[in-house]
Amino acid sequence: MAAEEVDSAEFEDLPTTDIEVVYHVHYGMTGSFPLRMAELFFANDGIHIAEYAYITPLFGLGFRKHRREAAGMERIYEVHGIDEVLLQADQVNWINPDGVERIVLYSGGWLGRPKVAIYTADGLSYAYRLHDEVDFSELVEGITRWADRHAVEAEDRYGLGFTPVESLWRFLNR
């Protein structure tokens, strides 16, 4: 069954937040059990993180729910933009650029998936493994472009980006 074409002109009169997306990171996951899926938007007014689905190993990953959910959210973004993604999300985190201490991008090495870790001045951190096909150099370029606009330190590192103590700290402070 072919996807139905949507006339986006039908939605032009809807209210908008006028959020200008500088770089969009699609299909991230965080947590342990259940996993939470997320879209990250590096925008003119900060970082918007839309968490939108909970995935369990058996009923989520086993039945490819994660792929369906990610494809659905990608389609919502393509047709309606960031406003609708933020409305459809179960939880939205907004991080003011002034509150971002640094962003670290991990390549995943030869074993894992790329990871985006956002560290805030108040001690919170947000970490997402990327499950979409990612061109790591494009990811670094896009997020560095956003970071440069807001005087935020961004660095890229080779490897998994897994630190047991840091992961425990993030788990306990959620």
Q: Which residue has the higher pLDDT, 66 or 77?
A: 77
pLDDT at 70 (0 to 100): 78
What are the structure tokens assigned to 129, written together? 């493994």
Q: How long, in residues, is the chain? A: 174
Q: Which residue has the higher pLDDT, 160 or 163?
A: 160
pTM of the predicted model as reported, rounded to 2 decimal places: 0.82
**pLDDT for residue 1 is more than 50:** no
Q: Which domains does the chain have, with CATH numbers?
A: 21-172 (2.30.29.30)
Find out whether 118 and 95 touch, Cβ atoms under 8 Å.
yes
Find out whether 127 and 115 touch, Cβ atoms under 8 Å.
yes
pLDDT at 108 (0 to 100): 83
Under DSSP, the state recorded for 98 is G
Find out whether 41 and 50 touch, Cβ atoms under 8 Å.
yes
When pLDDT is cut at 50, 70 and 90, the band that residue 159 belongs to is confident
Which of 14-28, 49-63, 79-93, 155-169 tops mean pLDDT? Answer: 79-93
**pLDDT for residue 153 is more than 80:** yes
pLDDT mean over 54-64? 62
| Site of tokens 């609708």 | 84
Find out whether 149 and 98 touch, Cβ atoms under 8 Å.
no
Find out whether 127 and 116 touch, Cβ atoms under 8 Å.
yes
Residue-wise pLDDT for 70-81, tens only, equals: 788 899 899 889
The widest CA-to-CA distance across the chain, in whole angstroms, is 50
Using DSSP bridges, classify how beta strands 153-157 and 100-106 pair: parallel, antiparallel or unpaired.
parallel
φ/ψ of 173, rounded to 5, equals -100, 10
